[in-house]
Amino acid sequence: MEDLRNQSFPSKTKLDWKAKAEESLKGKKVESLQSPTYENIILKPLYSKEDQKTPSEYPGQSDFRRGTFPLGYVMNDWKVAQRISYSTIHELREKLISAVSKGQTAISFEVSKALFESDADVASLFMDLAENFPIAIDSKGLQAALLAKLSKGNNEKITGYIGTDPISLFGEEGNFSKELLPAWVENIKTAEKVFPNLRTILINTSIYQNSGANAVQELGIAAATGVFYLQQFIESGMKLEKILSKMIFQFSIGSNFFMEIAKLRAARMIWSRIAEAYGAHKNNRGIEIAAETSTFTKTIYDPHVNLLRAGNEAFAAVIGGIQYLHVGAFDEITGPNSFSERIARNTQLILKNEAHLKNIIDPAGGSWYVEELTTELAEKAWEFFQQIEINGGILKVLQTGWLQNEIATVRNKRMKDSFTRKQSIVGTNVYANLDETVPALIKEQEAAYLVSQSLEDVLNGAEPQFLQMNKIESAIEMNPLVKKRLAEPYEELRKKAKEIEGRSSSKPIMSMICLGELKQYKARFDFMRGFVSAGE
């Protein structure tokens, strides 16, 4: 036994391993295994300690890449914030009560103008729930109306966020009114007095991600938007520490697992650096993050594959470090039902209670791959943030169309890769099921509205008046962001094929002439059959 203890293997260097790997590659270099990404980051086949440029601090310290809180999920578990779909206020209340009894830990639902036009009292939704569960709501342009309704309860017990990101709204709708931002700033200052423990300033990059932006662009946009809001509130006389305590960031999580983990970690690094530059105390440089699975990656056809996509994205979000999470239902594009909503919620519960991720402080900590990817992503995102600032800031680059063009370049690359099947979309451009019934498309999203009065006026009893954003006369028009899913071109092609079938009672047919024996042409025949099946 003593002899065994004294034996050891000779130490091997990285060059030794590289030489051994190249032997198995039959003359190719290890560099041939490198993979480019849409972020212009080259992923290496192997990462080691040598690749880690800077040592990581403990979670809750320094640049916060390893998390905002020292004990991670152990003491600050992420909130299950599934957005509830509904048709009436009564249905919304019933579904919220049911959801929290089955594992939901935050109040979350879509806010629409119809919510305030009902005879039912919206405040009744929150009588019991809001004082016992945090809120997680992107209120868009209806923030003042919702906050006014919510003010009838015990305001100090209201936690979480009811946030609005005017810049992302402007980008989504394609117009901007200079009068709206100062009014919103005053609303936030009023809300701070009424709801001392509620976050109200949202920096939401989901619209950019769902328009095809890469992780570098998302992070740069988040930083530029956050800085823009900081300036607005500082100039209005609000204290820095108070502004930071009212902010929350929201990201949409895509399909590149490790890139999305690194994105969330890099977001904390970048904002910590910005907050430090503004003079924030080190304890106030961390951020809270709300995440949602991407709609850009989801499909109408073979929707159950969306279960795998959403599960992968939710897993990446949790590993990256979040405070709130919404997992989209597998049929969210065509409209979810009670079954798909339950499965989406249970995806989070599995990650919490069966994968035991709620018991881990920093799951990605110590991975040389993740650490180096985080650093490189943060550096590139900082450069993109600087480009935005050089070009006039976030509002200016949207008005001029510069940002839309930058995102379109990446989106077009993604689309091209899906057209050539370099990027596989299972059930859509590969392994398409020709016998699948075409699902009905979900109805068009409701137009965006704004509340014309100030929050103070509505709190004092004024009836909210709603303005449709695309009909505001004083608005400056700009090119809206193009929200388009990766699978949409294929889905449109299959829809046209179904229309032809409806008119002629026959599917479009393509004949293939195969020469030789089966074994000679079968591989090419199978490839072509799969290729043309994507468009039926």
Which of 108-117, 346-355, 443-452 has the least mean pLDDT?
443-452
Rounded to an integer, the average pLDDT of 109-127 is 77
Q: How confident is the model at residue 89, as a pLDDT?
A: 85
Separation CA 196–CA 36 (nearest Å): 46
The residues facing 35 across adjacent strands are 43
Query: What's the start-to-end Cα distance of the chain, in Å?
Result: 68
Q: What is the largest CA-CA distance in the chain?
A: 87
Q: What is the pLDDT of residues 227-240, one digit of tens each?
A: 999 999 999 999 99
Q: How confident is the model at residue 535, as a pLDDT?
A: 62
**Residue 463: is its pLDDT beyond 70?**
yes
Q: Where are the beta strands (DSSP E) in 56-148?
A: 79-80, 135-138
Q: How confident is the model at residue 143, as a pLDDT?
A: 93
- How many Cα atoms sit within 13 Å of 436 on the Cβ side? 22
Q: Which residue has the tokens 């105390």?
A: 281
Which of 171-185, 215-229, 285-299, 496-510 has the least mean pLDDT?
496-510
**Residue 55: is its pLDDT beyond 80?**
no
- Phi then psi for residue 162, to 5 deg, are -125, 90
Closest CA to 490 of 403, 448, 432, 414: 432
Q: How confident is the model at residue 304, as a pLDDT?
A: 95
- 3-class secondary structure, 26: coil
Which of 215-229, 258-272, 405-419, 422-436 has the least mean pLDDT?
422-436
Q: How confident is the model at residue 31, as a pLDDT?
A: 84
**Residue 442: is its pLDDT beyond 80?**
no
What is the pLDDT confidence band of residue 124, given thresholds at 50, 70 and 90?
confident
Instruction: Give me the domains of the chain, ranges plus CATH numbers.
Output: 72-419 (3.20.20.240), 506-533 (no CATH)
Separation CA 476–CA 283 (nearest Å): 40
Separation CA 465–CA 145 (nearest Å): 9
CB 232 within 8 A of CB 393: no
Cα 158-271-133 angle, rounded to 5 deg: 15
Q: What is the pTM of this model?
A: 0.93
What is the pLDDT confidence band of residue 119, given thresholds at 50, 70 and 90?
low
What is the pLDDT confidence band of residue 13, given thresholds at 50, 70 and 90?
confident
**Residue 156: is its pLDDT beyond 80?**
yes
**Residue 505: is its pLDDT beyond 80?**
no
Burial 42-78, CB ≥16 within 10 A → b, else e: ebeeebeeebbeeebeebbebbbbbbbbeebbeebeb
Q: Which of 42-46, 351-355, 461-465, 470-474 has the highest mean pLDDT?
A: 351-355
Tokens for 250?
Answer: 């929201």
- Phi then psi for residue 214, to 5 deg, are -90, 175
**Residue 2: is its pLDDT beyond 70?**
no
- 3-class secondary structure, 469: helix
Rounded to an integer, the average pLDDT of 524-534 is 77
Q: How confident is the model at residue 469, as a pLDDT?
A: 76
Which of 30-34, 70-74, 115-119, 320-324 has the least mean pLDDT?
115-119
Q: Where are the beta strands (DSSP E) in 15-165?
A: 35-36, 42-43, 79-80, 135-138, 160-164
CB 455 within 8 A of CB 191: yes
For the chain, the average pLDDT equals: 89
Which of 58-62, 206-210, 295-299, 416-420 has the least mean pLDDT?
58-62
Q: How confident is the model at residue 176, as a pLDDT?
A: 82
Rounded to an integer, the average pLDDT of 290-304 is 96
Q: How confident is the model at residue 434, as a pLDDT?
A: 80
Rounded to an integer, the average pLDDT of 278-297 is 96
- 3-class secondary structure, 107: strand
Rounded to an integer, the average pLDDT of 55-84 is 90
What is the pLDDT confidence band of residue 84, given thresholds at 50, 70 and 90?
very high
CB 469 within 8 A of CB 475: yes
Rounded to an integer, the average pLDDT of 478-494 is 92
Q: How confident is the model at residue 487, as a pLDDT?
A: 94
Query: Could you tell me which residues come within 8 angstroms of residue 343 by beta carbon, excluding any fewer than 6 positions away?
Result: 307, 329, 330
Tokens for 235?
Answer: 């100039």
Using CA atoms of 450, 452, 458, 460 in order, give the dihedral in degrees to the nearest 10.
Answer: 170
- Between residues 248 and 179, the one the model is more confident about: 248
Please report which helix (H) or strand (E) contains residue 183, including its range: helix 180-194
Separation CA 155–CA 331 (nearest Å): 36
What is the pLDDT confidence band of residue 3, given thresholds at 50, 70 and 90?
low
Which of 7-16, 139-148, 153-162, 393-402 has the least mean pLDDT?
7-16
Q: How confident is the model at residue 444, as a pLDDT?
A: 61
Q: How confident is the model at residue 432, as a pLDDT?
A: 86
Separation CA 332–CA 329 (nearest Å): 5
What is the pLDDT confidence band of residue 371, given thresholds at 50, 70 and 90?
very high
- Between residues 265 and 53, the one the model is more confident about: 265
Burial 312-323, CB ≥16 within 10 A → b, else e: bbbbbbbbbbbb
C-alpha 519: how far from chain center: 46
